A and B are shown apart, each in its own frame.
Chain A
Amino acid sequence: MDYLYSILILIGLFIILASSFDLVIGHCGLISIAHPIFYAIGAYVSAMLAKHNIMPIPLAMLSGGVVAFVASALVAVPALRVSGDYLLIASIGFQLGLIELAKHIHEIGGAGGLTNIPSFLIRDYGRESYVVLVLVLAGLTVLFIKWLTQGPYGRMMAAMRDDELAFSMLGRNAIWVKVSVFGIGSGIAGIAGGLYAHYFRFLEPDQFGLLQSSAVLTMVVVGGLRTAWGPVIGALVLQLMPQMITFFNLPPSVLGPLQGLIFTGLVLVFMFKRPQGLLAAPVIWTGKAPEKRGA
């Protein structure tokens, strides 16, 4: 049963990660794959705040999100001022650099990992309650992103993706839109990190590296960019598939690279054969309130 709960929680967390990543890469068109580092920042910040009894766990989780938001803005502002392409390099540098740094900070467990993170809800209400919490938050994330991208802010993102120069010439501040969306997506990932930390109660820097990046990227590409349900389907498929591989009892030294190969292979197959993903986003942006259209 615990195994099933863990899988459900991981699916919920990956739905949050994939949806928020789709906001960044799909809706806003920002090329970055460093999403897991903001998940890590949220996880570590929340774990440390709770471990040292600085604040109650729900507040610690929110703080993790805030720190991830701020960190992402600090990466994005200088990078995006140089150029959009620079964000990819700057964010990967930040991701790998921070992981290396974390391995050498004794206070947060170093390379061996941070243990004995306080658990949340489980002791009083059972593991089921945590599953419910994570799945509800996953649902809210999907709805929030759908709401945001269908409103006037979504119209801005669609136009900016189409033609940034024409967009700027209308008086819209493209850098500001990008930094804001990057911050929101990263902040959501940070909150998901806190949710991870207080259930699994163990964090290790290497969890949040490029393998994790390719997993989240694959979920979004396979599910379908800029669709509300695409990241959900992607998270389900990609989370269940490795679980099935583990049934073959392969040694970890084979399992890790094998997963990486599968992710990369899937991304390549989809990019060439079905770039729109399993669910295709509509070509034309049409916000909500369909009653005003096509009367």
Chain B
Amino acid sequence: MAVLEIRNLCKSFGGIVVADQIDLDLKAHGVLGLIGPNGAGKTSLFNLICGVVPPDAGSITLDGLSMEGQPIHERARLGLARTWQTLRLFPSLSVIDNLMLGPRDYSADRLIDVFLRPTYIAQREREARQRAEYILERTGLIAIKDSPVMDITYGQQKLVGVARALMNEARCLLLDEPMAGVEGQTYALIQKVVRDLAESGVAICVVEHNVAFIKDLCDEGVFMFAGKVLARGSVDQLIADPHLTELYFGT
């Protein structure tokens, strides 16, 4: 069974159709590439999945549970995590504190615990710190863990965005252009992290304009245009299709 199931999802903003009867499955252990020209509706699809915007019609289930009407934070707590095309890090926090907020259950989610259960809070904080340090180690960020996120390079910020999303131990991870503006070592790191994650059973969807990266990383690709899923297949197949290439690069 698919981890994330999207059925007949529809959404338009005024006259702009961003989702037109979308059916899509994300499977455990799979990395699905989402390709399409600017304005195709890729980010909008992520926003619909996460509850950032409500759909006009259709359903989304995570592990068989309907997410209809659920607010964003509830979806995250069901095991959905994402990164943002515009990063959206917390500028007034250090790298590690950005991550520390990411566990599905945060130490201080219940204010009453802060007052009445200091040992519980301390325990949860320790666990979160350990997990954050482990993820920072894997993403090569451990040396800069105490730096303010505004003081590090753009490539490092991109990694922090991915690392923060990993704190959730999500069932389903959505990555919105993780490679845009990233090169060299960081490129290889993100690739390895995503691959390892998929192997551990997470269902992953990556939006990316970088076709080489999609080819390296994804088992399968989906081509989106004007809110429609036009084709699904191996990445090579999609690139080879002259009709899709024409839509992608314009005429």
Contacts and interface: CB of A to CB of B under 8 A. Distances in A.
A152 B88 contact: no
A173 B111 contact: no
Given A159-B101, A171-B104, A166 B88 contact: yes
Contacts of B77: 171
Contacts of B52: 165
Interface of A: prevailing SS: helix
Identify which of A155, A171, A172, A293 gathers the most chain B CB atoms within 10 Å of its CB.
Answer: A171
A283 interface: yes
B72 A169 contact: yes
Would you list the 3 A-B pairs with minimal beta carbon distance, nearest first?
A171-B76, A166-B88, A152-B108
B97 A285 contact: yes
A284 B148 contact: yes
B146 interface: yes
Contacts of B154: none
Contacts of B90: 158-159, 162-163, 166-167
A170 B168 contact: yes
A172 B88 contact: no
A155 to B, nearest CB: 6
A151 B167 contact: no
B107 interface: yes
Contacts of A168: 71-73, 76
Interface string A140-154: 000000001001110
Interface residues of B, number: 38
A285 B164 CA distance: 17
Interface of B: 50, 52, 71-73, 76-77, 81-82, 84, 88-94, 97-98, 100-109, 111, 114, 121, 125, 146, 148, 164, 167-168
A293 B73 contact: no
A170 B76 contact: yes
Given A148-B114, A152-B121, A165-B52, A172 B89 contact: no
B71 to A, nearest CB: 7
A171 B94 CA distance: 19
Interface of B: prevailing SS: loop
Contacts of A156: 101, 106, 108
A165 B89 CA distance: 10
Given A283-B92, A284-B92, A172 B101 contact: yes
A98 interface: no
Given A148-B114, A163-B90, A167-B101, A153 B76 contact: no
A171 B81 CA distance: 9
A180 interface: yes
A293 B98 CA distance: 15
B114 A159 contact: no
Contact of A284 (B50, B72, B81, B93): B93
Given A170-B106, A170-B164, 10 more contacts: A155-B100, A162-B92, A163-B90, A167-B90, A169-B76, A169-B82, A173-B71, A174-B73, A284-B92, A284-B94
Contacts of B76: 168-171
A289 to B, nearest CB: 10
Contacts of B103: 171
A152 B93 contact: no
Contacts of A172: 73, 101, 106, 109
B108 A161 contact: no
B107 A152 contact: yes
B167 to A, nearest CB: 7
B110 to A, nearest CB: 9
B92 A285 contact: yes
Contacts of B94: 284, 286
Contacts of A174: 73
Interface string A41-54: 00000000000000
B112 to A, nearest CB: 9
Identify which of A151, A152, A161, A283 gathers the most chain B CB atoms within 10 Å of its CB.
Answer: A152
B93 A159 contact: yes
A23 to B, nearest CB: 12
A251 interface: no
B106 A165 contact: no
A191 to B, nearest CB: 16
B92 A165 contact: no
Nearest to B102: A170
B111 A155 contact: no
A294 interface: yes
B106 A171 contact: yes
A151 B118 CA distance: 11
Contacts of B106: 152, 156, 170-172
Contacts of B73: 168-174
